[in-house]
Structure 1
Amino acid sequence: MKIIACGSVPTVIAPEKYFTGRVLQTPIIEKEPPARLRATLVSFEPGARTHWHTHPLGQTLYVTAGAGLVQTWDGPIQEIRAGDVISFAPGEKHWHGAAPKSAMTHIAMQEALDGVHADWLETVSAEQYGG
């Protein structure tokens, strides 16, 4: 058993090369091989969002607070709210983030394939974000 004490893992500002706007990330768990799980608490300020990306083994989001937006490459923008669970299939190109006037926090959970949790792609343009 391992207990990770509250406050012992620092919150970091998410890198601009993967996000637009101010986003904070607090690691929850990253299991060592042979396990593959990574979970992170991600807080988006209004208008902040990820870039387009995929996950080799898929991703699940659990929205813990606020309201946000999510979109797959070939789908419409959809609203998400606290309590919603969003599941992306392996390799499904998508983005997610806060709504324009509301912050949003979610827990992002994904597994690694050969050490890779995500493949980051292009920025979500203002036009794409605005619908």
Structure 2
Amino acid sequence: MMNEFEKENIFGLGQKNEAYAKYFNKDSFLQPLIAGDDNVDVNVANVTFEPGCRNDWHIHHDGYQLLLVTAGQGWYQEFGKPARHLKAGDAVKINEGVKHWHGATKDSWFAHVAITKGTSEWLEAVSDEEYAKLSEEK
């Protein structure tokens, strides 16, 4: 399964995401694509999640986040709303101030390009109970 996923994951696995590991329940990997600077005010990176990996609830301030799903299957959920199943080709627009999380399904690797402007406020973890309630029906 990983070999097929690696072929789909066009930007590559990258390095283990040590800098943000405390905000993920399992291993994730980061492949920076474009770093923000004085002329570009967004960061662009490919983020890969191992099966069952998810990030904590979080909010983006002074900007937004766009997710472009490139491989595997995952979830996106805004607080108080049902989770949305994601697959390659899906796109998600996350407005400033929206509490949300994203991550892999329990049985699939998952990769998305994250285009992020502003700063992130990291909140509580998505509980195992919340995650277990998600329907694996696609």
Asked if Structure 1 and Structure 2 have the same fold, meaning a TM-score greater than 0.5 normalized by the shorter chain, the answer is: yes
- Equivalent of 1:92 in 80, 89, 98: 98
Equivalence map 1:28-67=2 (5 Å): 28-33=33-38, 35-56=40-61, 57-67=63-73
Structure 2 unaligned spans of 5+: 1-10, 134-138
Separation in structure 1 between the aligned mates of residue 69 and residue 46 of structure 2, nearest angstrom: 10
Equivalence map 1:1-131=2 (5 Å): 11-14=15-18, 15-33=20-38, 35-56=40-61, 57-112=63-118, 117-131=119-133
**Alpha carbons 1:11, 1:27 under 8 Å: kept:** no
Q: Paired residues, what number?
A: 120
Structure 1 unaligned spans of 5+: 1-5
Q: Structure 1 runs of 4+ off > 4 angstroms?
A: none
Cα drift, residue 40 of structure 1: 1.0
Greater per-residue helix proportion: 2
The two structures have a TM-score, normalised by structure 1, of 0.85
RMSD: 1.7
Percent identity, aligned pairs only, is: 37
